[in-house]
Amino acid sequence: MKTFAYRTAVTPADGLEPGAVFLAGGTNLVDLMKLGVATPDVLVDVNKLPLDEIADLPGGGLRIGAGARNSDVAADPRVRRDFPVLSEALLAGASGQLRNVATTGGNLLQRTRCRYFMDASKPCNKHTPGSGCPARDGDHRDLAILGASASCVATHPSDMAVALAALGATVRVDGPAGRRVIPVTGLHRLPGDTPERDTVLEHGELITAVEVPPLPFAHRSTYRKARDRASYAFAVGSVAAALDVHDGVVRDVRLAWGAVAHRPWRAFAAEERLRGRPATRAEFTAAADVELAAAEPLRDNAYKINLLRRMTTAVLERLAEGARR
Amino acid sequence: MRLTVNGTEHVLDLDPRTTLLDALREHLGLTGAKKGCDHGQCGACTVLLDGRRVNSCLLLAIAHQDSHVTTIEGLDGHPVQRGFLEHDGFQCGYCTPGQICSAVGMLDEVDRGWPSAAADDDPLSDAEIRERMSGNLCRCGAYPHMVPAIRQAAGR
Ligand SMILES: Cc1cc2nc3c(=O)[nH]c(=O)nc-3n(C[C@H](O)[C@H](O)[C@H](O)COP(=O)(O)OP(=O)(O)OC[C@H]3O[C@@H](n4cnc5c(N)ncnc54)[C@H](O)[C@@H]3O)c2cc1C
Ligand code: SF4
Ligand code: FES
Ligand code: FES
């Protein structure tokens, strides 16, 4: 590991000196530093900032501090009652030990698990711009089918972010240039020809909180994750959904997919197609297909199309059944 | 820097790169916590940080000077340890300190009503224990004996 200086952040608006990065739980950053992929000159520890509160918002939403640990958010009674998709997504990720340390902010900003990215000795446009993308013709079984580019086909690996995208959450940011609010669906970029930039955040901008707006029908929401072993593995595909059915008709729906793109993928086109239609299996599948029409699979990841179609159909059917009961 | 481990405060002169795991093993001679993968993937390095189970290989010691660390050496005859002995919950023993620290933290999580992805009605069913302990791998595959060992430690 390259040597670095260490200091603690004093206020959220502090910002970062050149070559510095924020340290939250460190479960991704320290790992990448050991691998020589992250080589910061300075670590600015944000764990002493008072950012770990989970507070009620007017109308039934929640403000989740960026420092709130994944395990505490997953166990929060309000999250479990009003936004079960978020609790389920968190519990589907990592392990008990990791969730006790991982923070809300760090989880959103964790980097791709693309194996070439995590190997400093390999070319990769994300860790070494201009060096190429060996995944495109190499090992890309876990990588993107939507929104990828010739430069990069990485996926964002977070489960939590998929639930937040479905819930229409926003991210509050602070920094030397002031505060701003960014929708979770607009936080991560598509790779284009600058895959070295994961998000729209500027150097020194700190996430202070995530706000989940009120969404009454989200008390009926869920997360489903497909992976290579029963637990403690990243997703190869996942679905976060909330469904509002009235008299057998879809009044409203929220749908997002994980492990298919460089960002948590909110399925806006599928949602649009479903609103006002009968809550039937055929309609659910048709809606998934509308979204999947844009998919551009690679040699070894076309299986994700059928996986997402089937998982989406099953998840929405289950939510619709719950509504009938 | 300062580190408080098993109730004793130590003052150490460490490189900021030192992980909590290396501080424990290489500088304090507490070799119970094991280095399996060194990347958060196996759980062999599990210790309790202010009572919560964590992977010490991914924590920088310098960032945890105000915390209380409990290692396997600090658990003296804990019910989980007795459960592992009585149910033969190990073979080579390499993963065992991590398994035991993890189980201690996990039972506390159950007491606090924390959910798991298994979502069973009984938080100590086989499926629940397996899911909650999935951050600890065992190369010897001693899992079948760990499940009853942990349930016994919970008083069941
Ligand atoms: C073995 C293993 C398995 C895993 N499995 C899963 C899984 O199945 N699903 C899943 O979703 N995740 C999984 N993870 C990833 C885990 O969820 C992330 O490592 C964790 O959420 C990152 O949070 P952290 O607080 O530790 O972030 P850190 O490692 O501290 O930071 C990550 C990045 O975010 C930046 N950062 C942190 N906080 C802020 C902030 N407030 N503002 C601005 N920048 C910030 C840091 O500078 C860094 O670049 C796994 C990790 C491991 C090691
Ligand atoms: S997919 Fe992206 S992260 Fe992976 S090798 Fe290509 S450029 Fe790097
Ligand atoms: S050594 Fe820490 S998880 Fe494997
Ligand atoms: S007992 Fe040998 S690794 Fe678990």
Supply the range of the domain harboring residue A284.
221-324
Q: Does residue B145 share a domain with residue B90?
A: yes
The answer to whether position A132 is within a domain reads no
Number of domain units in chain B: 2
Closest CB to A30: pick one of B58, B113, B136: B58
The answer to whether position A319 is within a domain reads yes
Supply the range of the domain harboring residue B108.
77-153
- What mean pLDDT, rounded, does chain A reach? 97
Tell me what percent of the residues of chain A surpass a pLDDT of 70: 100
Q: Does residue B81 share a domain with residue B54?
A: no
In tens, the pLDDT along A26-45 reads 999 999 999 999 999 999 99
pLDDT reported for residue A322: 87
- Please give the average per-residue pLDDT across A215-227, as a whole number: 98
pLDDT reported for residue B142: 97
Residue among A46, A49, A26, A97 nearest B18 (CA): A26
Collect all residues of chain A within an 8 Å Cβ-Cβ radius of residue B136: 95
CA distance A32 to A177: 28
- Per the DSSP assignment, residues forming a β-bridge with A168 are none
In tens, the pLDDT along B17-69 reads 999 999 999 999 999 999 999 999 999 999 999 999 999 999 999 999 999 99
Q: Burial level of A102, CB count in 10 A (0-12/13-18/19+)? A: buried
pLDDT reported for residue A324: 74
**What is the CB < 6 Å shell around ligand 1?**
A 21-29, 31, 46, 66, 93-94, 98, 101-103, 105-107, 109-110, 157-160, 206-207, 234; B 40-41
Is the pLDDT assigned to residue A325 strictly greater than 70? no
Interface test with A, best of B18, B58, B70, B106 (most A CBs within 10 A): B58
Per-residue b or e along A256-265, where b marks 16 or more CB atoms closer than 10 Å to that residue's CB: bbbbbbbbbb
Q: Does residue B65 share a domain with residue B25?
A: yes
Q: Does residue B51 share a domain with residue B8?
A: yes
In tens, the pLDDT along B36-49 reads 999 999 999 999 99
Band of residue B145 on the pLDDT scale cut at 50, 70, 90: very high
CATH number at residue A311: 3.30.390.50
- Please give the average per-residue pLDDT across A207-220, as a whole number: 98
- Work out the minimum CA distance from B82 to partner chain A, whole angstroms: 22
Q: Which of B36, B53, B73 is where one domain is finished?
A: B73
In tens, the pLDDT along B76-135 reads 999 999 999 999 999 999 999 999 999 999 999 999 999 999 999 999 999 999 999 999
Q: Does residue B40 share a domain with residue B101?
A: no
Per-residue b or e along A125-149, where b marks 16 or more CB atoms closer than 10 Å to that residue's CB: bbbeeeeebbbbebebebbbbbbbb
> What number of H helices and E strands is found in chain A?
10, 12
- Please give the average per-residue pLDDT across A53-67, as a whole number: 97
Q: Burial level of A245, CB count in 10 A (0-12/13-18/19+)? A: buried
The answer to whether position A232 is within a domain reads yes
Please name the residues in contact with A229: beta carbons below 8 A apart, sequence gap of 6 or more. none
Q: Does residue B81 share a domain with residue B66?
A: no
**Which chain B residue is nearest to residue A234, measuring alpha carbons?**
B41
Q: Does B117 touch chain A (CB under 8 A)?
A: yes
- What mean pLDDT, rounded, does chain B reach? 98
Closest CB to A4: pick one of B16, B53, B114: B16
Tokens, residue A21 = 């990065």
**Contact assignment for B63 to A26 by CB distance below 8 Å:** yes
Which one of B140, B143, B145, B147 would you pick to mutate in the ligand 4 pocket, going by the greatest count of ligand atoms within 8 A of its CB?
B140
This complex has an ipTM of 0.98
Q: Could you give phi then psi for residue A273, rounded to 5 degrees?
A: -65, -35
Number of domain units in chain A: 1
